[in-house]
Structure 1
Amino acid sequence: MPPKPGVIPLGPLRLGDIFNGAFATVGRHAKQLFGVGAAVYGGALAVVAATIAIAYAATADHLDRIFALSGDEDPRSEDWVPLLVAFCAIVLVCLVAAAISTAMMYAAVPVVLQEAVLGRPTTFSAVWQRAWTRVPAVIGTVFLTWVIAMVPILLAWAGVVALVIGVVSMDGGDGVSVTLVVIGILGALATAPLAVWLWVKFSLAPSAVVFENQGPVAALRRSSLLVRGDWWRIFGISLLAGAVAGTASYLIQLPFSFIGMFSGALGSANLSDDPNPTSVIVAMSGYALAMVIGQLVSQLIVATFPPLVTGLLYVDRRIRTEDLGPVLAEAAAVPPQYTG
C-alpha cells in the first residue's frame, strides 16, 4: 500500500481515489478554497456593480429620453452613442474581472492541493500570496489554450463567411448562401473533435504553472507530455467532474431562482402603468439580488471541484510517468512553510 499522508495515496490513482481526494480537499480546506473564491468573485461582482452604477448615473437622462420615444420616433445620436459607450465599458470591465477572478481560482486550487496531497495545513494568506504571483502566467496559459483549441472552428467559420460575402457581392442568390452556411456549420462540427482533443491535451497546463512555476508556453508543452498516452482517461474523468459540478450548481441555484421569482412578482405588482427605468430597477432588485447570490454560490462549486480533479490528474500522471510518489512521500515529512 502506498503511503497516504494527505487526501490521496501516493501511488497511481483510480477514479475513486481522485474524486475522494477532491471531496476530501474541499472538506479539509474549505475555508481557504471558498474564502479565496468568495473574495475574488465577490470583488469582481462589486467592481462590475460599481461600473454599472456609474454608467447608469452618467447616462440616466439619455436612457429616459429613449424610453420616452414613441414607436415612430428614432433615437438621436447624442442619446444612443453615450449608451453604447457605457455598454462597451461595462462589457470590458466584466471581461477583465472574469479573467482575473477565474485565473485566481485556477491558481489557488493547485496551491491548496499541493498542501492537501502532502497532508499539511495552510492559511488563507499563504494561498492568496502564492496564487496571486501565478495569476499572469495562468491567464497566459488559459488564453493560449483557448486560442489553440478554437482555431480549427474559427478557421472553418472564417472560410464560410468569406465565401458568403463573395457570393453576396456577386449576387449569387440566397440558395447558394444558405448552402454555404450549412457547409460552415458542418465544418465547425467536423473540427469540434479536434478542438476538444487540443483542449484536453493542454488541460493540465494550469496545474503545471503552479506546481512547477512554469511559464505559459512551457506549461502547455508539459501538459502535452503528461497527457500523452492517457487522453481518453483524462477526458472521461474531466467530463465526469464537470457533470458533477454542473449538477451541483443547478441544484444550488434552484431555491435562489424560486426566491427571486417570488420577489420579482411582488416588486412588479407595485409598478405603475407607465414605469420609468429607475422604478423598474428598484422593483426587480430583489430578483436580481437572489439570482446574483445563487450564481455566486454555484460558481464557487464550479470553479473549485473540476480544477481539483484536474490537479489530481496532473499529480497522478506524474506519479505514473515520473515516479513522483517517493518524492512526495519525502516532502510530506517537511514541516509547512507559512508565508504571511
Structure 2
Amino acid sequence: MTDNPGWTSPGSSEPADGAPPQAATAAATPGPSAPSAPEATAPQAPAAQPTAPQDGPQAPAAAPQDVPPPSQWGAPGQPAYGAYGGPGYGPGPGPGWGGRPPYGGHPGWGAPPSPKPGVIPLRPLGVGELLDGSFTTVRKYWRTTLALSLGFAAFTQTVETVLRWWAQQDGGAVADLVAALVPTVLQGVLGILLGGLLTIVVSKGVLGEQITVREAWQSARSQLGRLTGLTFLTFLIIVGVFAVAAVPPVLLAISNGTGPGVLLLAMLMALIAGGVAGYLGILFSLAPPALMLERQGVLTSLSRSRRLVRGSWWRIFGVHLLTSFILGVVSTVAVLPFLLVATVFGNSGAFDQLTGDKGADLNLLGLVVIGIGSTLVATVTIPVNAAVTVLLYIDRRIRREALDIELARAAGVSVAPPTGWAGPAAPGPASPGPTVPGQSTPPGA
C-alpha cells in the first residue's frame, strides 16, 4: 500500500453530485473488459437441416401439442423462455425476476454485495452505517484508539482537577480564571493532535489495516502544523462573525445610549451570528480529514470541505446533531454512578456537573472520583466523534468521486461498478463481472 492510496484530491474539477466520474469508473475494475453487446437484429431463420435418408424413419409431420413451438423457446442467440433474465419470466415486460433491471451483466440478479474490507462497506453510507462504522472502529481497533484517547483524557482531566482544587483553596478571581482557561486551551491544543492521529487510524480501519500509535504518529506528524493552522483559522473566522455582528449594537449604544432597542438589536444580531457560525462550522467540518488524508494546505482544505459539503449540508448537520445527542446520553448515563459516589462522600453539589456548572465546591475525593468518571467517558466518546467526521468525509467522496473504487483497489478487493437500468438485455452472452474475495457470487458468474 502506498502512503496515500486513493486519498489524493483529483487534479481536475470535481463532478457535480450524481455525475458518474469517468476516469475513476474506467479504472475501477481490473481484469478484461466486457465484450461489447452485439447489435440487436431480427432472428434469422434456422439453416435447413439435412434431410433424412429415404430409407430411414420419417420425421413426424407435426410437433406434439404439449411441446411449445420453437418460437417460444427462442431462436438461436436469444435467451430461452423462462431462463434467468429471459423475456416472459416473471411479471412485467422487463428482463429479470419481476421486471428488475440487470446488474453487472447478470440479468435477473440484484446488485452484488459491496466489499467490506474494514469497518464500512465500500459504497455510499446511510446514517446508521456511519454511526455503526464509528463504534466498530473503536471496538475493532481499541488498542490504538483507546490508548490515544485515554492518554489525552487522563492528562487533561488531571490538570483540570488539580487547578480546580487549587482555585477552591485560593478563592481568588485570578485562580478561578486560570482554572477555567488553562484546561480549555490545553484541550484545544492536544485535541488537534488527537484528531489528526485518529483520522489516520480511522482511514486505515476503512481498509481493514491495523496501525499502532507510533505508526499513526509517523504518518500524521508532517501535517500536524498545518492542522493547527487550520483549526486556528477556523476559530478566527467564527470569532470574526460574532465580532461583525456586535458592531451595530455597539454603534447604536454609543450614539443613543443603552436601552430596550439596543438590547433587542443585540439579541437579533447574536441569533444571526449564531446561525452563520453554525453554517460555517458544518461547511468547514470536513477540512481536517481533507488536510490529513489528501496532504492539502490550509486554504485548499477549507475550499475542499466547502465543495464536498455543498448539496449535503443538512444531512451532515443532522448526522453531527444525532451523534452529539447519542454521545451526550451515553456520557450522562456513564457518569451518573461517579456523581452518586461523589455525593456519598459529602459533595452535595456533584450533580451540578451535569449542567456544566463547575463552580460548586467539592472536596478532593469528590474531584478525583468525578475526574475518573469524566476520563473514562471521554476515552470512548472522543474517538467515536472523530470517526464520524472521517467517515462523513469518505462518504461524500464516494458519492462525488467514486472513492470506493480506489479504496477497494488499495484494500486488494474488486468492486463492480453499477450498470443501472439500460432497458432489455441485448442478445448475446453476458460478461462475468469481477468478484469480491470472501463473498458469494451469483450463479452463472
Instruction: Return the TM-score normalized by structure 1.
Output: 0.76
Q: Does 88-97 or 116-125 show the bigger shift?
A: 88-97
Task: Specify the SS of the correspondent of 1:160.
Answer: helix
CA contact (8 A) 1:200 1:231 kept: yes
What residue number does 1:274 align with? none
Correspondence 1:147-226 to 2 at 5 A: 147-168=236-257, 176-226=258-308
Structure 1 CA distance, aligned partners of 2:395 and 2:207? 14
Q: Give how far 1:303 is off.
A: 1.8
Say which SS state the counterpart of residue 264 (structure 1) adopts. coil
Residue 62 of structure 2 corresponds to none
Alignment of 1:254-293 (within 5 A): 254-265=336-347, 284-293=363-372
Q: Pick from 399, 402, 407 the counterpart of residue 328 of structure 1.
A: 407
For residues 213 and 137 of structure 2, the distance between their equivalents in structure 1, rounded to whole angstroms, comes to 14
Which residue among 145, 150, 157 is the counterpart of 1:38?
Answer: 150
Which entry has the higher C-alpha Rg, 1 or 2?
2
Report matched runs for 1:55-94 at 5 Å. 63=170, 90-91=179-180, 93-94=182-183
Structure 1: which amino acid aligns with 2:277? A
Corresponding residue pairs, total:
292
SS at match of 2:304: helix
What SS is found at the alignment partner of 1:39?
helix
Structure 2 partner of 1:140? 229
Query: What are the residue-to-residue correspondences of 1:10-49 with 2, within 5 Å?
Result: 10-48=122-160
Contact 1:36-1:128 at 8 Å conserved across structures: no
Deviations along 1:20-77, whole A, 9 cap, x unmatched?
2112111101221111011122223344556678x77xx98xx5xxx8xxxxxxxxxx
Amino acid at match of 1:106: G
The match for 1:297 is: 376
Q: Which residue of 2 aligns with 1:273?
A: none
Distance 1:133 1:35, change over 3 A: farther
Counterparts of 1:127 and 1:224, CA distance in 2: 27
Match of 1:251 in 2: 333
Seen in structure 2, the aligned counterparts of structure 1 residues 298 and 165 have a Cα distance that, compared at 3 Å, is farther
User: In the superposition, relative to structure 1, how do residues 45 and 131 fare at CA in structure 2: closer, same or farther (>3 Å)?
Assistant: farther
For 2:388, the equivalent position in structure 1 comes to 309
The answer to whether the 8 A contact 1:245-1:301 is kept is no
Q: State the AA in 1 paired with 2:199.
A: P
Cα gap change, 1:39/1:131 in structure 2, threshold over 3 Å: closer, same or farther?
A: farther
- How far residue 327 of structure 1 moved from its aligned partner, in angstroms, is 0.9
Q: Could you tell me how far apart the structure 1 residues matched to 2:370 and 2:255 are?
A: 45
Q: Unaligned 5+ residue runs, structure 1?
A: 68-82, 169-175, 267-279, 335-340
- Residues 73-128 of structure 1, C-alpha deviation per residue, up to 9 Å, x if partnerless? xxxxxxxxxx5665555555334311222112211221111111000111122224
From 118, 121, 125, give the equivalent of 2:214. Answer: 125
Q: CA deviation at 1:9?
A: 1.1
Structure 1 letter corresponding to 2:399: R
CA contact (8 A) 2:161 2:371 kept: no
Contact 2:283 2:305 in 1 (8 A): yes
* Separation in 2, partners of 1:145, 1:135: 15
Distance 1:135 1:234, change over 3 A: same
Which stretch shifts more, 209-218 or 134-143? Answer: 134-143
Give the deviation of 1:302 after TM superposition: 3.3
| Counterpart code for 1:141 | L
RMSD of aligned C-alpha atoms? Answer: 2.9
> Aligned partners of 2:185, 2:401: CA distance in 1, in Å?
37
For the residues of structure 2 that align with 1:265 and 1:321, how far apart are their CA atoms? 54
Contact 1:41 1:101 in 2 (8 A): no
Partner Cα distance (1:140, 1:91) in 2: 24
The one of the two structures with greater contact order (alpha-carbon pairs below 8 A, sep at least 6) is: 2
Q: Is the 8 A contact 2:284 2:305 kept in 1?
A: yes
1:3 has 2:115 as partner: yes
* Runs of at least 5 residues in structure 2 that lack an aligned partner in the other structure: 1-112, 349-359, 414-445
Distance 1:200 1:125, change over 3 A: same
Native 8 Å contact 2:149 2:380 kept in 1: no
| Larger proportion of helix | 1
Other-structure match for 1:71: none
| Alpha-carbon displacement from aligned partner over 1:281-333 (angstroms, at most 9, x marks no partner) | 8x801111111112222223332222211111100111111111111111113
Residue aligning to 1:104 = 193
| Superimposed CA distance per residue, residues 163-189 of structure 1 (whole angstroms, 9 cap, x where no aligned partner) | 324434xxxxxxx52320121112211
